[in-house]
Amino acid sequence: MPEKRQIFNAFYTAPAFLIAGLIVFVDQFSKYFVRELICRDIPILLIEDIFYFTYIQNPGAAFGLLRYQTGLLIGTSLLTIAVLVLISLRVSRKEHSSQIALGFIIGGAIGNLIDRVSFGHVIDFLDLGFREHRWPVFNVADIAITVGSAIIIWKLLKKE
């Protein structure tokens, strides 16, 4: 059985946890800014016809799936985070892209979990203005999850 000290050090030496912490900080800081300074459902134009800040409260998952299923989404998030933490502890620190990917996904999942637990919904605000094409408004956590997932898919495809 490993010493307690070795297990404790693993949490601080795994790059995934440092990246996850940074993602959570940036995500929560951006959402705080949006909650405090932007009116809900009123787009703020940043780039004409391309990019807006639009503060919305999303009671579901991606693309509005599972609306108002907060308990299920919290449980799924907790399970996902736990599994990814265990995986990241088993992945070598030298596998940089895997550590980065896991850190992005864990951080994004924690960021959205904080919203669900605190507010019962996720705060989204990055709007590409493609509403007529059903493109969702999203947030920093969503970007992190998407980037982390893309890295993992790229690594899996690269092995074949």
Catalytic residues: 124, 142
How far is it between the farthest Cα atoms of the chain? 60
51-58 and 122-127 as β-strands: parallel, antiparallel, unpaired?
Answer: antiparallel
How far CA 120 is from CA of 25, 59, 112, 114, 115, in Å, comes to 20, 7, 10, 9, 7
Contact between 58 and 122 (Cβ < 8 Å): yes
Could you give the CA distance from residue 92 to residue 94 in angstroms, rounded to a whole number? 5
Dihedrals phi, psi of 135, to nearest 5 degrees: -80, 130
Could you give the CA distance from residue 74 to residue 112 in angstroms, rounded to a whole number? 9
Contact between 130 and 97 (Cβ < 8 Å): no
